[in-house]
């Protein structure tokens, strides 16, 4: 019988993606391992390889389609000896008959009858079914809600904990999300405190738009990356207790060593140096070694216990049009500066082309965010869970300092360490940033 080709989950957290391009057309023969399509996640564009063999009978989801749910049918493959036309005609009914679609449709009918009827059948307000309001059922930090409501809330960027449910026993259902989009049915900070935290109410889109004259702005819809960044950083600020530690580091020796190392770099056959170290390469290496010296800070918080990491996997923030991504240098403590430099150049290039694979930007034990190239003196960065720390690096600049009772000029770089207070206490964070300062000010210690 025909085989349904489903939208793949290309990362553990992926729930939907964009079908960027079909590399095969209807009627083409497909072999196992053939790349048949390109799928866009919020962070990368990845190739989709066929698992089965046969003939591509029908493309159900055309290229360019946005927000295709994971495990939904995107194409149908006719097996060896099967009637391709019959498989293609059967494909038209495949999405509706898929188990997950049936379940979703049933859920929609149960939760919001108005969604399951045609305009001609739409009940009048007098006859529309009503559900009595009841207190929302909350267990700890869990809010009871339907799968459809959770998906709609996630897509709209609405915190379920702030929504007053109108379903059975206070369950949050689809119509509650529709109401919340217009600012209705949202809990006040006092009500939100029942969930363990008082969350300030946010303005609805309508409230925001009402503050500006029509035609005085251009509404630019959020893409998947921007929505994901907003959701994750909001969650980080709301759930991770941040504190910050700042130090000034003298990098005169580092700059001199960098110049000397780059000048001595071997050349390839085209006469170009095989590596070119940046200050950021030294920062990555120094943070990686500092985490090894202070292993109690190389951790991740989990409710069941603390994860103490054996290696220093350092994420590095890379700016992209419309957002950013943090590719990870794995085992950075054991790599040479030249290896880190070349690896980061490759990762950054592929990140800007959205060609990274999920394992190249997920996880990590700490991160670096460097805005020094923009002339920023110092700043604080938001932790990227489940990491416990992130180092914000400012610009190197010539400053007047006092040394041995004399004022002299020195190259100084300010760095700020953001710490998760659940897993890294103040003294421990101070030890970590102190170890970093020692290494960055004495770069010869990184190559011993």
* 421 given a catalytic annotation: yes
Structure tokens at 260: 């000397």
* E strands in 110-234: 138-139, 142-143
CB 208 within 8 A of CB 232: no
**Per-residue model confidence (pLDDT) at position 212:** 93
Look at residue 248 and give its three-state secondary structure: strand
CB 357 within 8 A of CB 44: yes
pLDDT along the chain (448 residues), means of 10: 84 79 90 88 80 88 88 87 78 44 41 34 38 40 72 73 75 80 54 42 81 91 83 90 97 96 93 94 98 97 94 95 92 96 95 89 95 95 96 96 93 97 97 98 90
**Per-residue model confidence (pLDDT) at position 129:** 38
* Distance in angstroms (rounded) separating the CA atoms of residues 403 and 381: 31
Domain locations along the chain: 3-97, 138-219, 230-446
**Per-residue model confidence (pLDDT) at position 104:** 43
Neighbouring C-beta atoms of residue 376, cutoff 10 Å: 14
Of 107, 114, 117, the closest CA to residue 128 belongs to 114
**Per-residue model confidence (pLDDT) at position 71:** 87
Gyration radius from the chain CA atoms: 27
Q: Among the CATH numbers 4.10.320.10, 3.50.30.10, 1.10.260.40, 2.20.25.10, which is that of 138-219?
A: 4.10.320.10
Look at residue 206 and give its three-state secondary structure: helix
Q: Name which CATH class applies to 3-97.
A: mainly beta
pTM, full prediction: 0.64
Query: What are the pLDDT digits (tens) for 268-288?
Result: 999 999 999 999 999 999 999
Domain 230-446 superfamily per CATH = Chloramphenicol acetyltransferase-like domain (3.30.559.10)
**Per-residue model confidence (pLDDT) at position 187:** 57
Q: Which of 222, 309, 311, 421 is catalytic?
A: 421
């Amino acid at each position: 019988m025909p085989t349904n080709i489903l939208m793949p989950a290309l990362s553990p957290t992926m729930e939907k993606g964009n079908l960027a391009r079909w590399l095969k057309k209807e009627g083409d023969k497909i072999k196992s391992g053939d790349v048949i399509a390109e799928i866009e996640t919020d962070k990368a564009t990845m190739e989709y390889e066929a698992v089965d063999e046969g003939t591509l009978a029908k493309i159900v989801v055309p290229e360019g389609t946005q927000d295709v749910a994971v495990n939904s049918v995107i194409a149908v493959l006719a097996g060896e000896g099967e009637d391709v036309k019959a498989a293609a005609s059967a494909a038209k009914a495949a999405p509706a008959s898929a188990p997950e679609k049936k379940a979703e449709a049933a859920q929609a009918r149960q939760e919001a009858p108005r969604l399951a009827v045609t305009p001609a059948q739409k009940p009048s307000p007098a006859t529309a079914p009503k559900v009595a309001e009841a207190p929302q059922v909350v267990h700890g930090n869990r809010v009871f809600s339907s799968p459809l409501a959770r998906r709609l809330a996630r897509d709209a960027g609405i915190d379920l904990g702030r929504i007053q449910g109108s379903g059975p026993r206070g369950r949050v259902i689809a119509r509650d999300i529709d109401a919340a989009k217009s600012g209705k049915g949202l809990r006040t900070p006092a009500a939100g405190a029942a969930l363990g935290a008082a969350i300030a109410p946010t303005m609805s889109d309508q409230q925001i738009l009402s503050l500006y004259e029509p035609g005085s702005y251009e509404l630019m819809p959020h893409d998947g990356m921007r929505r994901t960044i907003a959701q994750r950083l909001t969650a980080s600020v709301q759930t991770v207790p941040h504190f910050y530690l700042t130090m000034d580091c003298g990098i005169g020796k580092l700059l001199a060593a960098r110049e000397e190392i780059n000048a001595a770099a071997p050349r390839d056959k085209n006469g170009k140096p095989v590596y070119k170290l940046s200050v950021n390469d030294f920062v990555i290496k120094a943070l990686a070694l500092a985490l090894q010296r202070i292993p109690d800070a190389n951790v991740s918080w989990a409710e069941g216990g603390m994860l103490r990491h054996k290696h220093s996997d350092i994420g590095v923030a890379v700016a992209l049009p419309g957002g950013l991504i943090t590719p990870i240098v794995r085992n950075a403590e054991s790599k040479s500066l030249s290896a880190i430099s070349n690896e980061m150049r490759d990762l950054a290039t592929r990140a800007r082309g959205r060609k990274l694979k999920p394992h190249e930007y997920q996880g990590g034990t700490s991160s670096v965010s460097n805005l020094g190239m923009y002339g920023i003196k110092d700043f604080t960065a938001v932790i990227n869970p489940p990491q416990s720390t992130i180092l914000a690096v400012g610009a190197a600049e010539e400053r007047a300092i006092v040394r041995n009772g004399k004022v002299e000029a020195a190259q100084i770089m300010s760095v700020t360490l953001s710490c998760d207070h659940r897993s890294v206490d103040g003294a421990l964070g101070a030890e970590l940033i102190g170890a970093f300062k020692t290494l960055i000010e004495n770069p010869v210690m990184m190559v011993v």
